[in-house]
């Protein structure tokens, strides 16, 4: 498993409220997590950084994933949710903060993914790109009801309004997904700072045809920056 990641504050924001982590486990599987914080001037950064740290620490405490990787990820995400929620309750500067979270554990022909919010995970092969996760957002709900097309959703004024976030409620309601992966397949995790300005087909092109894998995250960031990058941008690429 090969892992790469990059994060940037973008061209407009003064602070980067995204956070991410990648790790290769002892058994060769790859682990990645991306968080996109929300809240006040300081709180979004606190939420995303806390979530990543607590999530990764809890995974370490649990040891190897074993036979139930969904439970392994959910337990860590619930722990992170508890910590962020308590911080938001106890610290007046952090009132109302929260964060998205998308995570993937991949290897041995299988990937397990968890998400809360609108940070995304994609499965990419030479045959195409498939979004694995479903956004927990107002515009995604409108698309599902047939009130908006995908293209209309990309430009909707409320596209950044999410309906679920880690740390916003005392109980986490994260979604989990199982995905088969073959040698040479890719998983890409990103915050909406990328997906709002770079299309799925453009992501596919850069991953498969754009050049060396090691530079792919930078290439995607450069595309976002070239288009004004109004939000923080985080990209993680995993190659099976």
Is 214 inside any structural domain? yes
| Of the candidates 119, 229, 224, the residue with the CA atom closest to the CA atom of residue 166 | 119
Is 42 inside any structural domain? yes
Predicted pLDDT at 61: 96
Is 107 inside any structural domain? yes
The number of folded domains in the chain is 1
Predicted pLDDT at 147: 81
CATH code of the domain in which 187 resides: 3.60.40.10
Is 146 inside any structural domain? no
Mention every residue, 6+ apart, whose C-beta is less than 8 A from residue 104.
Answer: 30, 31, 32, 33, 111, 112, 113, 114, 121, 187, 189, 238
Dist. CA 85–CA 106, nearest whole Å? 28
Q: Is the pLDDT of residue 198 over 80?
A: yes
Residue 173 burial (C-beta neighbours within 10 Å; 0-12, 13-18, 19+): exposed
Is 90 inside any structural domain? yes
Give 78-134 pLDDT, tens digit per residue: 999 999 999 999 999 999 999 999 999 999 999 999 999 999 999 999 999 999 999
Is 141 inside any structural domain? no
Q: Sorting pLDDT into bands at 50, 70 and 90, what band is 159?
A: confident
Count of CB atoms within 10 A of residue 13's CB? 17
Is 201 inside any structural domain? yes
Give 53-83 pLDDT, tens digit per residue: 999 999 999 998 988 999 999 999 999 999 9
By residue range, what is the domain housing residue 58?
Answer: 2-134+165-239
The pTM for the full model equals 0.95
Arithmetic mean of pLDDT over the chain? 94
């Amino acid at each position: 498993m090969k892992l790469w990641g990059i994060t940037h504050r973008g061209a407009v924001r003064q602070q980067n409220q995204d956070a991410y982590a990648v790790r290769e486990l002892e058994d060769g599987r790859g682990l990645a997590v991306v968080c996109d914080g929300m809240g006040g001037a300081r709180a979004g950064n606190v939420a995303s950084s806390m979530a990543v740290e607590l999530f990764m620490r809890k995974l370490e405490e649990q040891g190897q994933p074993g036979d139930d990787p969904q439970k392994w990820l959910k337990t860590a995400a619930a722990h992170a949710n508890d910590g962020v929620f308590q911080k938001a309750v106890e610290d007046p500067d952090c009132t109302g903060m929260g964060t998205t979270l998308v995570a993937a554990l991949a290897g041995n022909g299988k990937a397990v993914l968890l998400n809360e919010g609108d940070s995304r995970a994609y499965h990419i092969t030479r045959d195409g790109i498939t979004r694995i996760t479903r956004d927990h957002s107002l515009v995604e709900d409108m698309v599902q009801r047939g009130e908006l097309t995908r293209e209309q959703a990309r430009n909707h004024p409320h596209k950044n309004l999410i309906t679920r976030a880690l740390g916003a409620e005392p109980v986490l309601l994260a979604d989990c997904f199982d995905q088969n992966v073959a040698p040479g397949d890719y998983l890409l995790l990103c915050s909406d700072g990328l997906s709002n300005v770079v299309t799925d087909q453009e992501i596919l092109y850069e991953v498969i045809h754009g050049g060396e894998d090691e530079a792919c995250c930078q290439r995607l960031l450069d595309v976002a920056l070239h288009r004004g990058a109004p939000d923080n941008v985080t990209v993680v690429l995993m190659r099976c």
